[in-house]
Amino acid sequence: MVYNQTGSSCIIKLQLPINNKGAEMAKVKWGIIGCSDFARRQTIPAMLETPSVELIGIASRASEKAESFRSQFRLRRCYGSYEALLADPEIEAVYMPLPSGLHAEWMIRAAEAGKHCLCEKSFTTTAEEAARVGDAFARRDRYAMEAFMWRFHSQHATASRAIEKGEIGPVRLVRASFSFHFTRRPDIRWDPELGGGCLLDIGCYTISAARYYFAGEPVSAFALGELHPQDRVDTAVAGVIEFPQGAALIECSYLLPYRTEIEMVGEKGCITIPKPWLPDHEAIWKLNDEFHAQPLENQYVTMFEHFSRSVLRQTPPRYGVDDAVRQMRVIDAVRRSLQTRKPERVTET
């Protein structure tokens, strides 16, 4: 069924996929709000591979764009508005690859429509927004999760187990970087109203990694950065985030070459992960002087499978809204520090 801007529809018949035994598997019926190039390249192909995902359709404010995605991926439906998708009673969960500045509004609308939601990073633009989103989902007993796909790759689970076993001793320092040259225009990354800038776009990964590997929450942040003179979005950020047991050095930039790495330094050794966000087919990481390799896996498939299974089993996802709120509190502190050029406390909203 294809919906136009007014909500009227026509029928498109496609055969539903079945498993090898000829019976339909337990699946969650998904819709996508937003036709991003990232979704086209990465997440939609992963959703179509995920056993517990049945991707019903996709929505765009431009009907022709939604139809292009529907046709390319042979989806059953497309919608000429976000409202039309949320009004579809068959949709149970929504994936949202919209700009960060639109996340809070449309996640709240998704919750009000009774949908679960997996939302791209950054979850919102402020912790106050994230808390309001959390309230909306809690009132309707629905789940929401920030789509940090890297947390679902086994290289991080394996590295975490090594830390838990005392392989490098207590972690005292985490160093995380994410940078690449970015000048393309027009692009949402240059629009402050849509949550533009490198901190919300890629710096969020470094902050998330620091919280993940310290297995706790920081108390303060100090950061310096650069703002684009016309667009007034941050183009480079470097900072120190204080945790009770140590410090994280984070950096992100649109002005530097492509660099991605995290390092966890303990009292007895260190772990280095050269490609923590988008690893090669064989993910290589280093424990002290010993290299380890993880076999081929698709971290996007694992993430969608985890969230769908949470919906099917009615059990909260591993990383719920509370985690997203805590993440945004740290980002808020970093943003305040960029303005004051002083350390800022990580405070509750």
What is the C-alpha to C-alpha distance for residues 83 and 94, in angstroms, rounded to an integer? 12
- Report yes or no: 298 and 46 within 8 Å, Cβ to Cβ: yes
Q: Is 304 inside any structural domain?
A: no
Q: pLDDT-based confidence at 25, cuts 50/70/90?
A: confident
Whether the pLDDT of residue 13 is over 60: the answer is: no
Same structural domain, 52 and 103? yes
How wide is the angle at C-alpha 105 spanned by C-alphas 143 and 139, nearest 5°?
A: 40
Same structural domain, 232 and 180? yes
Give the E-state strand segments of the chain in sequence order: 2-3, 9-10, 28-33, 53-59, 77-79, 93-96, 116-119, 144-146, 171-179, 220-227, 234-243, 246-253, 259-266, 270-273, 283-287, 290-294, 344-345
Same structural domain, 163 and 234? yes
CA–CA distances in Å: residue 37 to residues 20, 44, 52, 99, 185: 32, 10, 24, 12, 15
CATH number (domain holding residue 140): 3.40.50.720
Domain end call among 149, 175, 190: 149
Please count the other Cβ atoms lying within 10 Å of the Cβ belonging to residue 256.
Answer: 16
Same structural domain, 141 and 243? no
Q: Is 303 inside any structural domain?
A: no
The number of domains in the chain is 2
Q: Is 340 inside any structural domain?
A: yes
pLDDT tens digits along 178-215: 999 999 999 999 999 999 999 999 999 999 999 999 99
Give one DSSP letter per residue of 215-228, joined into a string: TS--SEEEEEEEE-
Whether the pLDDT of residue 22 is over 70: the answer is: no
Same structural domain, 60 and 91? yes
- For residue 340, give every residue at least 6 positions away whose Cβ sits within 8 Å of its Cβ, in sequence order, or none: none
pTM: 0.91
Same structural domain, 231 and 255? yes
pLDDT (average), residues 225-234? 95
Same structural domain, 242 and 140? no
Tokens of 227: 């703002």
Report helix, strand and coil shares of the chain as percent, to nearest 5.
35, 25, 40
The sign of the dihedral angle between the CA atoms of 207, 210, 216, 221 is negative
Same structural domain, 143 and 158? no
pLDDT tens digits along 118-138: 999 999 999 999 999 999 999
- For residue 320, give every residue at least 6 positions away whose Cβ sits within 8 Å of its Cβ, in sequence order, or none: 143, 144, 145
Which of 159, 319, 88 is closest to 78 using CA atoms? Answer: 88
Whether the pLDDT of residue 5 is over 80: the answer is: no
Same structural domain, 183 and 162? yes
What is the C-alpha to C-alpha distance for residues 121 and 199, in angstroms, rounded to an integer? 11
Q: Is 173 inside any structural domain?
A: yes
Whether the pLDDT of residue 109 is over 50: the answer is: yes
What is the C-alpha to C-alpha distance for residues 228 and 345, in angstroms, rounded to an integer? 26
Start-to-end CA span in the chain (Å): 43
Give one DSSP letter per residue of 240-264, joined into a string: EEEETTEEEEEEEESSS--EEEEEE
Residues above pLDDT 70, as percent of the chain: 93
Same structural domain, 117 and 161? no
What is the C-alpha to C-alpha distance for residues 177 and 203, in angstroms, rounded to an integer? 8
Q: Is 87 inside any structural domain?
A: yes
Domain end call among 149, 180, 206: 149
CATH number (domain holding residue 204): 3.30.360.10
pLDDT tens digits along 312-336: 999 999 999 999 999 999 999 999 9
Same structural domain, 179 and 140? no
Tokens of 67: 């139809």
pLDDT of residue 349: 63
Tokens of 145: 């999760």
CA–CA distances in Å: residue 161 to residues 151, 170, 215, 236, 287: 13, 13, 12, 33, 12
Please count the other Cβ atoms lying within 10 Å of the Cβ belonging to residue 224.
Answer: 12
Same structural domain, 260 and 117? no
Domain end call among 120, 149, 178: 149
Tallying the residues shown for the chain, one arrives at 349
Q: Is 23 inside any structural domain?
A: yes
pLDDT tens digits along 37-52: 999 999 999 999 999 9
- For residue 325, give every residue at least 6 positions away whose Cβ sits within 8 Å of its Cβ, in sequence order, or none: 127, 130, 131, 134, 349
Q: Is 308 inside any structural domain?
A: no
Question: The domain containing residue 115 runs over which residues?
Answer: 2-149
Q: Is 310 inside any structural domain?
A: no
